[in-house]
């Protein structure tokens, strides 16, 4: 609209001076403010073709000016074309900003390099383990046991229930059946009644009695210390076998339970979903000597801070290293309320935890029926 007004002023001045002729010569005109306007010849070069047309050609240029006005402030004088050009870079910049802008609520999410090399992954994974070792120097298996037999039975019973419930149940079981021979000869209905609090008690009764018979008949009443022997026992898979090997025999093993699976995928250590493949992928990132304690560190962290449904991201000590930061509560105060066990000031899962756990402020779990 400004350009049209300017063209009109050029066509008829207050003094009645003629508009530029075909040769491009024109008398100087004055603007409404009385100031000298830009030479019409220069304006014509920017707004019309080489064949100087009357004001009608200039008017055609005003259409883009309206579109440009939506994006930029109104231009003055003969700046219509300049305003249109300036608006393009602004639009491009806006597009770049939109691409870089994070989704709402995800601005603080840490993202690992898309092309993280294997060496970089190994370094990040090992640093996470070192950090967790400082946070949980007292990490340990959270099943109460005094010998390999008690540990293997407790681990079989821990399926589909908590370690706490198993620890509250096994004292009565081992008091009545302290050895494999005793449990092998047990009355199934009596064992079922003892194991009822753990859930799936009939299937578990069958497993532990069958396990005890195999130990009595095939291994002289002793728990074998080899993986290939352990996995042959009723109810014993690789996870249970590695728990026994690592904690009863001191032989390294990775325990791929539900917490371990969840966390290693959140940390982008592996994309595998099958326990055997997860075990192999994670095992390749660490020295074999660290496997058992690595399992304890990861499982402890999963139970206390990095929960399945609502991880306490705002209270996580490894947040700067975690690609999944932001999936849970990031507010520090709210996140602290989500902490469990000794991190939240609550009792742990073991009735008889190690002294190191008690020294760190841990509280023993109550016996079955207490509280």
- In angstroms, how far is CA 55 from the centroid of its own chain? 64
At 67, the pLDDT band (50, 70, 90 cuts) reads: very low
Residues 189, 193: Cα–Cα separation, whole Å: 6
The pTM of the whole model exceeds 0.85 = no
Mean pLDDT over 169-178 rounds to 98
- Across 182-196, average pLDDT: 98
Active centre residues (catalytic): 239, 257
Instruction: Identify the pLDDT of residue 214.
Output: 98
Mean pLDDT of 188-209: 97
Contact 322, 266 (CB under 8 A): yes
DSSP annotation string for 163-214: HHHHHHHHHHHHHH--SHHHHHT--HHHHHHHHGGGSSHHHHHHHHHHHHHH
Nearest CA among 278, 245, 244 for reference residue 262: 278
The confidence score (pLDDT) of residue 262 equals 98
Tokens representing 181 are 């021979």
In sequence order, what are the beta bridge partners of 348? none
* Structure confidence at residue 157 as a pLDDT band (50, 70, 90): very high
- Mean predicted lDDT score pLDDT of the chain: 80
72 has a pLDDT exceeding 70: no
pLDDT for residue 333 is more than 60:
yes
Contact indicator for 254, 291 with CB cutoff of 8 Å: yes
pLDDT higher than 90, residue 246: yes
pLDDT, residue 334, reads 98
- End-to-end CA, the chain: 83
Q: At what angle do helices 62-71 and 80-100 cross, to 10 degrees?
A: 40
For 126, phi and psi rounded to 5 degrees?
Answer: -70, -30
The tens digit of pLDDT for each residue in 38-57 reads 444 444 344 434 443 444 44
Higher-scoring residue by pLDDT: 174, 4: 174
pLDDT beyond 80 at 293: yes
Collapsing DSSP states into helix, strand and coil, what is residue 57?
A: helix
Q: What is the pLDDT of residues 6-20, one digit of tens each?
A: 444 443 344 444 444
Please name the residue that has the structure tokens 């000016």. Answer: 65
Measure the CA–CA gap between 34 and 146, rounded to whole angstroms: 103
Per-residue confidence (pLDDT) for residue 370, from 0 to 100: 78
Mind giving me the DSSP string for 258-306? HHHHHHHHHTTS----SHHHHHHHHHTTS-GGGHHHHHHHHHHHHHHTS
* pLDDT-above-90 percentage for the chain: 68
Q: What is the mean pLDDT of residues 251-263?
A: 97
Residue bearing tokens 């009735």: 351
User: What's the mean pLDDT in 85-98?
Assistant: 39
What DSSP state is assigned to residue 30? B
Rounded-to-integer distance, Cα 217 and Cα 224, Å: 12
Percentage of residues in the chain with pLDDT exceeding 70?
69
DSSP state of 49: -
Confidence at residue 76, expressed as pLDDT on a 0 to 100 scale: 41
SS (H, E, C) 256-270: CCHHHHHHHHHCCCC
User: CA nearest 109: which of 313, 335, 317?
Assistant: 313
Find the range with the poorest average confidence among 58-72, 242-256, 303-317, 318-332: 58-72
Which residues make Cβ contacts (< 8 Å) with residue 338, sequence separation at least 6?
305, 307, 310, 311, 312, 315, 328, 329, 344
Would you state the pLDDT for residue 112?
55
């Amino acid at each position: 609209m400004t350009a049209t007004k300017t063209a009109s002023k050029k066509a008829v001045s207050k003094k009645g001076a003629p508009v530029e002729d075909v040769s491009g010569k024109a008398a100087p005109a004055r603007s409404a403010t009385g100031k000298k306007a830009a030479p019409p010849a220069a304006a014509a070069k920017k707004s019309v073709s080489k064949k100087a047309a009357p004001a009608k050609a200039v008017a055609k240029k005003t259409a883009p000016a309206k579109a440009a006005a939506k994006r930029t402030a109104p231009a003055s004088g003969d700046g219509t074309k300049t305003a249109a050009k300036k608006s393009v870079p602004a639009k491009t910049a806006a597009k770049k900003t939109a691409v870089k802008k994070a989704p709402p609520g995800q601005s603080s999410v840490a993202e690992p390099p898309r092309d993280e090399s294997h060496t970089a992954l190994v370094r990040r994974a090992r640093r996470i383990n070192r950090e967790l070792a400082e946070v949980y120097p007292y990490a340990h298996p959270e099943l109460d046991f005094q010998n390999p037999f008690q540990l293997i039975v407790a681990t079989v019973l821990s399926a589909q229930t908590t370690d706490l419930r198993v620890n509250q149940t096994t004292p009565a079981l081992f008091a009545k059946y302290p050895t494999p021979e005793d449990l092998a000869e047990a009355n199934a209905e009596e064992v079922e009644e003892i194991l009822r609090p753990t859930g799936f008690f009939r299937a578990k009764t069958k497993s532990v009695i069958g396990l005890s018979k195999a130990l009595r008949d095939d291994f002289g009443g002793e728990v074998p210390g080899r993986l290939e022997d352990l996995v042959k026992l009723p109810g014993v898979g690789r996870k249970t076998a590695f728990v026994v090997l690592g904690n009863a025999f001191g032989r390294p093993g990775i325990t791929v339970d539900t917490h371990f699976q969840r966390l290693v995928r959140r940390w982008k250590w592996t994309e595998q979903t099958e326990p055997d493949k997860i075990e192999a992928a994670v095992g390749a990132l660490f020295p074999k000597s660290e496997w058992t304690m690595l399992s304890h560190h990861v499982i402890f962290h999963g139970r206390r801070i990095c929960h399945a449904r609502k991880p306490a991201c705002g209270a996580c000590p490894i947040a700067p290293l975690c690609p999944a930061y932001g999936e849970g509560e990031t507010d520090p105060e709210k996140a602290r309320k989500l902490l469990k066990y000794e991190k939240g000031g609550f009792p742990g899962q073991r009735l008889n935890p190690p002294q190191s756990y008690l020294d760190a402020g841990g509280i023993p779990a109550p016996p079955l029926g207490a509280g």
